[in-house]
Amino acid sequence: MGRENIRDILRTLGVSRSNAGVSTGTRWLRSQGPTLTSVSPVDGKVAGTVKSADASSVDRVLSVTTEAFLQWRMWPAPRRGEVVRQIGEALRRSKKALGMLVSYEMGKSLQEGLGEVQEMIDICDFAIGLSRQLYGLTMHSERPHHRMYEQWHPLGPVGIITAFNFPVAVWSWNAMIAWVCGDTCVWKPSEKTPLCSVACQQIISEVFRKNNVPEGVSCLVNGDYRVGELLAKDARIALVSATGSTRMGKAVATAVASRLGKVLLELGGNNAIIITENANLDLSIRAALFGAIGTAGQRCTTTRRLIIHESVYDEVRDRLKSAYQKLQIGNPLDPECHMGPLIDEQAVRAYLRALKEIRAAGGTFVVKGSVLKGKGYESGCYVRPAIAEVENSYPIVQEETFAPILYLIRYKTLDEAIALQNGVRQGLSSAIMTTDMRQMERFLSVAGSDCGIANVNIGTSGAEIGGAFGGEKETGGGRESGSDAWKAYMRRQTSTINYGDTLPLAQGIKFQI
C-alpha cells in the first residue's frame, strides 16, 4: 500500500494523522496523557498518532458512562437492538476501508482484515435477534399461591480491554452484546493498534447521534497498561472483559477481585491438532497450514502443536515441509501473500528467543526460522515460519509463543494423544482429524479434550460468532460472543410472588406471634 492509499483510507474513516484518543461516544476529550505512535509493521512507517488517556480523563469518562447507564438501561432492549442494527449497516459500508486499516496497522492479510470486519457485522446481526431473547425462567414454588421466576437486568458499565491481534472484532463481541443487554462500555484497545479504535468510534458515533443515544454509552480510552489498571481498580466498572496474555489476565483478575467486581477473561492458548492414522491428510495439511501461519501465528487459537500418529508422521512432516517452501511472505495487502509481518520488533525478539530455546532443549528443525531481510522487508518484522520436532515436555513447548512456530509431536495411542493435547497449562482450542467415529466421540467425551473449543476435521483457528468463545485453565474460563455468553453482561434476579392471603414459609417453617 502506498502512502497516498493509507491517507485516503484514514480520511474515509474520519481518522487523521494526529488524533485524540479519549471519547465519550459523541465527543472527543482533551487529555494530558502521552502520545501513542502507530507504526505499521508492513513498511515500518508511522501511520498516525493518538493521544493517550490520563487519570483525569479516565475519571471523566467513568463519570459520564455511569450517568449514561441510568438512562440506557431504561431503553427497551429491542430499541437498543435497532441501534446495533444500524451500526452493522454502517460497518457494511465501511468494510473495505476498515479491513484495509486493520491489515495495515496490525499486519494480518487483507482477507483476514476484511474477515475481521465481517465478524463485527455478524455479531451485530446476532445481537439484534438477542435483543428480543433475553429470556428468564419460571419455576414452581413449594408454597401454595406462590409463583417464582428469574429475570435478567443490565449489569452496569463494562470495561473492555482488547489485544492487538484482533484490533476491532473482539471489542465488537463484547460491545454489541453488552449494549443490547443495557450496559454502557468503556474500551481500552491495544496501544499497538490505536488508529483502528479511533476509526470504530467515528463509525458508531454518527449512528449514536442520529438515534439520540446518551453520551457515555460508548467510550474510548486509549493508552498502555496503566489505563487498563485504572479500569480494573475502579468500582464504577461492573465487569472487566479482558483479552490478552495469561500474565495480564492474572493482574486484571487480582485487581478486580480485590473490589469483588466481575471479570471475563480470554487469555492464552497452546492449541493442538491430533492427526490420527484414520485422518484425511489433505484436510489435515490445509487445517494445519492456516492454523499455524494465519495472522503470522498471532492468534490465540493459532495451531502451535501437531500431535501425529506414528504411522502417518513422516508423510505429514514431509508434506508440511514441502508446503512451507511454497508460502509467499510479504505485504499483507498483496493478495498473493499468505503471511504478513509480526506486530513489532518485540514480537520478533520473542520469536528468535523461542527458536534458540528449541535448539537448547534438543528440538530438531524441519523448517528453520529466520528474520527476513531485503526489499519489502524493511520494517524488520517479517519472519520465516518454522517447524520443529519436539517433545511436549520441553519448557518452550509448554509456553504460548505468539509467532509462526509449529511443533511436531509423535504418538502411538489415542489416549496418549489426548493426554499430550491436554498436557499444557492453557485450554482454549483443540482439534482432531479422523474418519473414525469412535475416535471423534472419544475426543469429544468428558475424558477427551479439556479445552473450551473442540473441533473435528477442522483446525483450531477460526470461530463462528454463534458459539460461545473461550477456554479453560490459564485461558481464563470466560465466554464471549454467541450462545448464552450474554449472561455475563447481566445480573440475575430471582423473584417470588405471593398472590394468596396467607404467608407460608419455605421448608415448612412455622413462625407465630
Active site residues: 266, 300
Please state, in angstroms and rounded to a whole number, the distance separating the CA atoms of residues 253 and 264. Answer: 9
Does residue 460 contact residue 478 with C-beta atoms inside 8 Å? Answer: no
Question: Is the Cα torsion angle 140, 145, 146, 147 positive or negative in sign?
Answer: positive
Measured in whole angstroms, how far is the alpha carbon of residue 203 from the centre of its chain? Answer: 21
**In the numeric block, which cell numbers belong to residue 8?**
485516503
* CA nearest to 160, candidates 83, 250, 227, 251: 227
Measuring CA to CA, how many Å separate 501 from each of 141, 147, 317, 497? 16, 14, 77, 12
Alpha carbon distances (Å) from 460 to 43, 62, 122, 215, 436: 30, 37, 20, 40, 19
Helix, coil or strand: residue 106: helix
Three-state secondary-structure class, residue 360: helix
Pick from 222, 216, 213, 220: nearest CA to 193? 222
* C-alpha cell of residue 39: 507504526
Q: How far apart are CA 495 and CA 139, in angstroms?
A: 10
Residues 22, 23, 24, 30: what is their CA dihedral angle, to the nearest 10 degrees? Answer: 60
Q: How many CB atoms lie within 10 A of CB 74?
A: 10
